[in-house]
Amino acid sequence: ELNLAGNYLHRLPEELTSLPHLRAIDLSRNRFRRFPEPLTAVTALETINLEENEIAGEKDLFLPPPLEKLAAMASLRSLNLRENPVGPEVRLLVRPLVPFDLLLSPEEPVPEA
């Protein structure tokens, strides 16, 4: 396990891929605007916690990496994106395509005009 929570990180070094036995990583309370692509190369990862970051929408979350890379992570069981400004388009696109638990904050109701 690797706990990097609360460190104001916005990117991860490529060297992270040299941790082949890493099963859980906590990146909560950082400054990621995009999904950290080096994580897709860590094949043993079971849990990724990205709670309370700045990952916003479809472009920020999945380009890079493409959604296919996340779905291909055979060991991944849980991706926590709670408390990120994830838009409704991501919710619609992601849920049917990923074989792991995707944790998102409840959608805020749209205020009436």
Q: Which residue has the higher pLDDT, 108 or 80?
A: 80
Q: How many CB atoms lie within 10 A of CB 99?
A: 11
Q: Does domain 2-104 have CATH number 3.90.550.10?
A: no
> Does the pLDDT at position 95 exceed 50?
yes
The β-bridge partners of 107 are: none
> CA end-to-end span of the chain, whole Å?
47
Closest CA to 1 of 27, 20, 23, 32: 23
> What's the pLDDT score for residue 37?
84
Better pLDDT: 78 or 105: 78
